[in-house]
Amino acid sequence: MWLILSLASVVIFTAVDLLMRVLAVKSEQPRTFSFIFNSWGALFAILLFIGELPSLSLPTSLPTSHLLLILIAIISYGLYERTHFSARKHIDASTITILFRLAPVVAFTGSLVFFGEHISGQQLLGAALLLSSTALVIHKNPHLRLHRPLLIALFSAFALGIGWMLDKPGSQGIPASLYSFIMWVGPLAMIALPSLSLTQLRREARIGGWKVALLAFLNVFGYFIYLKALTLESATKIIPITSSSSTLTVVAGIIILKENTNVTRKIIAGVLMFIGILLLR
């Protein structure tokens, strides 16, 4: 069952990555757009939680260390959600997907270092290939000079990796729908700070339209089944499989979104990324 859930999340996250790129390009204020997107996500997460509530066994108390993990996860996801649409607006989907493969490397490494999950030589090679795929895309790429969108993308990937790293220990003993609800509602304040213009909120809502709600629904549902998979198997197996959506996104970005710059380099990076993901299993 964990493999079915993981593969389902792959398909959903591929669709999410492509739609994020399309909507990010249209956005005028990415942080404002992110707030609207996450507000929709919070609404769907609340509805999902309420729908499961009659059959859930809710924790009566959690140790301070567990609450701290949840708080750090909220901050990490908040930083990611606050910044990643800005990066997606300026970097095409097939490229930023490869840059974001830093996230599973961060999550995988953190799971090994902080939570004692086992590593083999094969898995170490897989992590190295993921890093190599990112380096290949960045190296001498005229569209990825050391400028703000690239730095934002790398920062977002790191923040996302920390969030992924904490999902397994943070969600232990907590229903997946409740944890998902916390991770959608919690970051909203971080995205909004220091303030958001009501005029711009209305404008961004009109620009995105119903597609923002669809994007949020897909992301919430994908994240929910990803959390369900984590309850059944270790993070070092789930995260690499889920991350294989990136390979599909690279191909789909080239074919569907006509992202034809550096195609050969992207394909080679995609192959390295796919092999790296297989080795991480």
Q: Please report the pLDDT score of residue 79 as a whole number.
A: 95
The pLDDT assigned to 208 comes to 82
Query: Is 172 inside a domain boundary?
Result: yes
Is 57 among the domain residues? Answer: no
Residue 36 lies in domain: 2-51+62-280
Rounded CA gap, 137 and 211, in Å? Answer: 29
Percent of the chain with pLDDT over 70: 86
Q: 209 by DSSP, 3-state: which?
A: coil
Q: Are 131 and 271 in contact (CB under 8 A)?
A: no
Distance CA 41, CA 38 (A): 5
Report the pLDDT averaged over residues 261-275: 73
Does 269 reside within a domain? yes
Judge whether 56 lies within some domain. no
- Preceding amide of 63 cis, omega within 30: no
Comparing 25-29, 80-84, 199-203, 227-231, the range with the smallest average pLDDT is: 227-231
Task: Over range 44-57, report the average pLDDT.
Answer: 83
Structural domain count of the chain: 1
Question: Is residue 44, in this structure, part of any structural domain at all?
Answer: yes
228 pLDDT exceeds 90?
A: no
pLDDT tens profile 74-87: 999 999 999 998 98
Categorize the per-residue pLDDT at 13 as very low, low, confident or very high, splitting at 50, 70 and 90: confident
Q: How far apart are CA 160 and CA 168, in angstroms?
A: 14
pLDDT band at residue 260, thresholds of 50, 70 and 90? low
Which tokens sit at 118? Answer: 């086992």
What pLDDT, on a 0 to 100 scale, did the predictor assign at position 132? 75
The reply to whether 159 falls in a domain is: yes
| pTM of the model as a whole | 0.78
- Does residue 23 belong to any structural domain of this protein? yes
Cα separations in angstroms, 154 against 19, 91, 118, 190: 20, 12, 26, 19
User: Does residue 213 lie within any of the structural domains?
Assistant: yes
